[in-house]
Amino acid sequence: MFRPLPGLTVTALIALAILLTLGTWQVQRRAEKHLLLDQIAARQAAPPAPIEILLPTGDYAALRKAIAVGQFDHAREAYVFAARTDRGPTQPGFKIITPFTLFSGDTILVDRGWVSSAHRDPQTRLQGQPPEQIEIEGVLQRPAMPSAFTPQPEWTHRIVYARDSVAIAKALGLTLKSPLIFEAISRKPGGPEPLASTTTIPDNHLGYAITWYGLALALIVIYLRFHFIQGRIKFRP
């Protein structure tokens, strides 16, 4: 025999529906996330293509390998503060962002790579400043938006703390073909060291789903046990 408490039962059913909905939503989000991860993997695995073909596709070109032919404008390079911790003690330094005029005449920003603070001045790395037209290979990356905690740029020294291509282009007086940043993977001897960005997308949805479903199960157990203790659940012999 089961004599449920009306008020408690209604409350428990509402809470159960919410928990099951949240668990199911996380399962659906996990499927969507895996589809996104598969798309990213496919982009990263695609062979390099001419950058003039990729840029008109807009944001879809992000994470694609590309080849660009053009000329650097070294006189207007900017510096994104980037400390390194992958080689032992923290090393302060900068990523060199340089305007690049494509063979087509359009302009993009190229992240040439990392240098230590001692080599921010271009005069310390003249060997790696090619004046001629060259071909470079790299990966198209989305720009980074500054947060509320990002320090203000030091435009007098062209130092910024976020790889914000729109802000950099505005400060340098450039009109960009695309806000995407071309992150070089090929290196000129004596030039900056290419430093690849990491694309980390968390995939915790299964754990969240198990948590919500587990709470739903715990709610059922507590609900039934409470009624059993109150004598509202009795088993006939």
- Provide DSSP, 143-203: PPPP-TTSPPPBGGGTEESS--HHHHHHHHT---S-S-EEEE-S--TTSPBP-PPP-----
Q: What is the pTM of this model?
A: 0.79
Tell me if 201 is assigned to some domain: no
pLDDT tens-place string over residues 138-174: 999 999 988 889 999 999 999 999 999 999 999 999 9
Q: Is 234's pLDDT higher than 80?
A: no
Q: Residue 69 — φ and ψ, nearest 5°?
A: -120, 130
Kindly state the average pLDDT of the residues 7-25.
Answer: 95
Q: Which of 39-48, 137-146, 172-181 has the lowest mean pLDDT?
A: 39-48
Tell me if 25 is assigned to some domain: no
Domain boundaries, position 165: 48-184
Tell me if 88 is assigned to some domain: yes
Q: Residue 34: pLDDT band by 50, 70, 90 thresholds? A: very high
Return the pLDDT at 107: 96
Tell me if 99 is assigned to some domain: yes
Residue-wise over 57-89: b if at least 16 C-beta within 10 A, else e? Answer: eeeebbbbbbbbebebebeebbbbbbeeeeeee
Q: Residue 101 — φ and ψ, nearest 5°?
A: -90, 115
- Whether 55 contacts 177, CB under 8 Å: yes
Q: Residue 105 — φ and ψ, nearest 5°?
A: 105, -15
Tell me if 134 is assigned to some domain: yes
Location of structure tokens 């969507």:
32
How many structural domains does the chain have? 1
Tell me if 226 is assigned to some domain: no
Return the pLDDT at 142: 93
Rg of the chain, C-alpha, whole Å: 28
Handedness of CA 8, 11, 14, 19 (dihedral sign): negative
Tell me if 168 is assigned to some domain: yes
Q: Is 217 helix (H, G, I), strand (E, B) or coil?
A: helix
Tell me if 169 is assigned to some domain: yes
Q: Is 227's pLDDT higher than 80?
A: yes
